[in-house]
Each structure stands twice: as structure tokens, then as C-alpha cells.
Structure 1
């Protein structure tokens, strides 16, 4: 039996970052049976230079979708990132994660920055990607500028999946605002992938605007010596 993914997605733009334009992040799902997915988180600092941060992340994802079937990519997410980045002409930068499921059940991952991915098996988180950062709150990123990172800086890893495994992936805005136990609880109560994706995103959004919620982000900041 060939391994396939059942994918649900949900996007909630940052309330202060141009909700009317759909936010600064982008994603795509493609491949046979939804075997490839990717997320790009546009870096909001570009807005201060009168550059729409969404343009780079959207073009990067559009290019990634275009190059999926390129012979040179050959089921390698790092090569897909390289080709998509090289083809992106918009000014800006983004953190990004790409995951490809092989028919054998092997999940290949390439990540630059702090978009994340977790694999859940039998009610437990059995794998998590690690964020890449120069220093706290300054992640690696693919950029239109020569000083940025490239696909060669990507964190590359593989996970051998089993039937019934669940994958949760998102930008740092998601994982900064929700704990693993909450993710497990929501998934356990959800009836399907779309419902789970929406419920997880809504809970992270709820936490993000709750000044009394001690989030994973605030806990990490304090551990690094920041007063939050």
C-alpha cells in the first residue's frame, strides 16, 4: 500500500498585519495524493521599507508548486527550495518549511528558520523540527538579499512514518502560542483534518490576544533573560 496524506489547512492573518489582504504567509499542497506541502512565513519588517512582505512568500510558494515535478527535484525538498528560491524575483524574505512524503512512508523535510513540524503517534509527539536562529527572535530566512540564507543552510531530516501518524505544521505564530498538550487535546477531539486545522489555528489565535496567557514564546523569552 502506498503512503498518502490527508491534509487540512487553515490560515488566520495577524490582526495588525493587513488582514484585508490575506496576511503575509503562504502555503501550498501538491503532489500525488497531497504528498508535498510547504509553508512560507513572510518577514513583516519589510513593511517598514514600503515592501509588501506577502509578495516574497507567495511567489516562493508558487514557484515551489511549479517545480514539484521537475526531474532535478527528484523528491528532494532541499533542491525544491533551491530552485524555488532562485526563481523568486520579489523583494523580501521568509522562513520556510517543505515536506515531501515518499510512497514508502518516508517524510523528507527541509526547513529554513522557525516554521515548524511535529509528528504525532499514538497520542504522543514523537518528532519535532528545531528552529534555526541567529539569536532570539531572529530566525534564518530565505531572502532576495545576498546576505540572507540559502537552501544550503536548510535543516534537512527524514522521518519514517507509520499508518495513523498525524503531522502538524505551521509558522512560528502558531507554535509560539500553543503547547504540545493542547495540540494533542485538539486533535483527539477533532473529527477530521480540516476541523483539526481550524480548531488548532483558532486556539493559537485566541492565546495570542490573551495578555494573561503564559505562552511558549513568553516562557522561552524569559529563559533567555528577556523581561516579558
Structure 2
């Protein structure tokens, strides 16, 4: 087990779930009625803990909502905005007797609460991260730990995706079978991502980045797009070409079709993670950094897939 000082990742629990959304709304304009179509998301998620292979866990075994080992995630809606987030906890805190799943879990729960209350600027996802992190810092009992953080806000009215990504979790926008946008990965050096941290008093050697260090972007999004968000447990074990191949099997924009795809991707990534003879993306990066490494990287895996589609026709 690596220590917090070298930012190792160790994981414990598993969960999966999905959340469908209906972004329909109606507005009456005097003297005129015309049909318009409102954009919406259909979202499903799946995940495994690092240790789930030994326990032979399968999708559907729910241990704790929105907690995938030391990963955490949320999906929320406020008016015309759909907001998704993932966070990947640093497992080395176990060396200090601290549960590393608590920090990412509390961070994502706080982000979700702010969104549901409408206390956020849709064009600034980094502010959602910053406000949530500030709350954790100011708690009477600080939530000790570290994690990456990635938040996306989809404005269904302007058809724009706003994002903030701190660390090596991230997302892809897939259109017509091709990646048209991907988040920027942030690493201090190999296998040491940017991260938010709260350390106990007297421990001053813990790496901690500011929320404002997150990479931000705003890009147009279209009906028919697929948005995939995940922690590095996916990206370190499954190459983009195979992710796209599985996404290409999505038959329609129903929740069952999206759930089947996200299950298949998470399961495939877990298989790769425990294959000692597989040249994984992580192994390729390790070799590029002068390390002899072959095989997958056992890790927590969290995957969310959202299909961008039309809601039912509504009056406006």
C-alpha cells in the first residue's frame, strides 16, 4: 500500500445505479402557441470497487448509493440544467487510519445539494467545486482526505456543456462515433493527479491543489451526443477505441439501452484491470515514464453515460 505522500489509490466498496431525467417544461406566451422540443438527458451509471473482483460482485449489488469503492458520484437536476460529478479518493489515507471514501463522498454530496437548491452558476462548474470544498474546510469536524473532482453542467436551453476537471477523472463527448471533445487530464507527474485535500493539524506534507486550478471548458452539445464521465479506473484500463466500440452498440436512447452499455464498459474495464499480460493505457504511460510495467491497474471504476435526446414535444 502506498502512503498519502506518494498518493497511492486503494479501494473498498462497490455500487451501481441509474437516474433517468425529464427536462420538459412549459411556458405560455400570449397570443401564440407553437410546438418546440426540449433537450433532456438519459443517464445510467455502473461501478466496481478495486476489491470487487475477489468478491465476484456484479452490477446490481448496491452497498451504498453513489459510492464506488473510494470513488463517489452524483447526478442532479435543477430547472433546465443537468449536472453530473465524479470524485476519486486517495486510498493512502488508510495508512493514517482514515476512511478515504469519506472525503469524495462528502464533496459530491455537497455539490449535489448546492445544485438541487439552485445555489450555483451554470457557466462556472469550478465554483460548485470551490464552494463545496470551502464548506468541508469550514465544518466543525473537518472531513480529512483527498480526491480528484470533475463536474459538468449541461444547459438544455442553450445546448451548452460547461465543465471543470481537477485531476485524472474526466469525460468524453461522442458524436457520430467519434470523440469531439475530451477533458484535460491534470498530473503533477506520473500517477500523481491534481487533487483537493484536507489534512489533520500538524500534517503539512500533503499535496493539495486549489479548485481554481481545475481545467474548464464550455462546448456546444447536440441531440444524439453521448457524454461519458468516469474516474481513472476506466481510462487507465480501457483504451478509447474500445470505449467507442461499446458506445457504438447503444441501440436507442432508452434507459435500458444506456444501462446495458455502461454495464458492459465497466465490466470490460474491470477485466482488463486484472489481466497481467494486457498492455493497458496505464502500462503504456508507465513505460513512457521509464518504468517496466505490463498489465492492467486494479482500481475503483466509476462510469456514467448520458444520452442527449429530445423530451416530448411541449407547448410554448
Relative to the length of structure 2, the TM-score reads 0.68
| CA 1:183–1:99: 2 relative to 1, 3 Å | same
| CA 1:142–1:113: 2 relative to 1, 3 Å | same
Aligned to 2:306: none
Instruction: Find out whether 1:24 has 2:93 as its counterpart.
Output: no
Over aligned residues, Cα RMSD in angstroms? 2.1
Aligned to 1:117: 171
Unaligned stretches of 5+ residues in structure 2: 1-36, 56-62, 137-141, 252-256, 294-316
Q: Deviations over 1:134-166 (max 9, x none)?
A: 110000001113851121111111121111010
| CA 1:11–1:133: 2 relative to 1, 3 Å | same
Instruction: Find out whether 1:102 has 2:155 as its counterpart.
Output: yes
Aligned to 1:224: 289
Aligned to 2:24: none
Aligned to 1:169: 229
Q: Please state how far the C-alpha of 1:70 moved relative to its aligned partner.
A: 5.0
Does the 8 Å contact 1:2/1:105 carry over to 2?
no
Aligned to 2:267: 202
Deviation >3 Å, runs of 4+: 16-22, 69-72
| CA 1:40–1:18: 2 relative to 1, 3 Å | farther
Which stretch shows the higher mean deviation, 176-185 or 138-147?
138-147
Does the 8 Å contact 1:4/1:101 carry over to 2?
no
Which stretch shows the higher mean deviation, 134-143 or 124-133?
124-133
**Whole-angstrom distance in 1 between the partners of 2:121 and 2:188:** 31
SS of 2:45 mapped into structure 1: coil
Which stretch shows the higher mean deviation, 30-39 or 73-82?
30-39
Relative to the length of structure 1, the TM-score reads 0.93
Does the 8 Å contact 1:132/1:140 carry over to 2?
yes
**Whole-angstrom distance in 1 between the partners of 2:53 and 2:195:** 19
Q: Please state how far the C-alpha of 1:2 moved relative to its aligned partner.
A: 3.2
Q: Which of 135, 141, 145 is 1:87 aligned to?
A: 135
Does the 8 Å contact 1:8/1:193 carry over to 2?
yes
Total equivalences in the alignment: 228
Q: Deviations over 1:154-189 (max 9, x none)?
A: 111112111101011100111000111111111122
| CA 1:128–1:182: 2 relative to 1, 3 Å | same
Aligned to 1:10: 46
Q: Please state how far the C-alpha of 1:190 moved relative to its aligned partner.
A: 3.4
| CA 1:71–1:201: 2 relative to 1, 3 Å | closer
Q: Please state how far the C-alpha of 1:71 moved relative to its aligned partner.
A: 5.4
**Whole-angstrom distance in 2 between the partners of 1:115 and 1:5:** 21
Q: Which of 157, 168, 171 is 2:217 aligned to?
A: 157
Decide which structure has the larger Cα Rg and report it.
Answer: 2
| CA 1:31–1:106: 2 relative to 1, 3 Å | same
**Whole-angstrom distance in 2 between the partners of 1:113 and 1:122:** 28
More strand by share: 2
SS of 1:35 mapped into structure 2: strand
Q: Please state how far the C-alpha of 1:95 moved relative to its aligned partner.
A: 0.5
Of structures 1 and 2, the one with the larger relative CO (CA 8 A, separation 6+) is 2
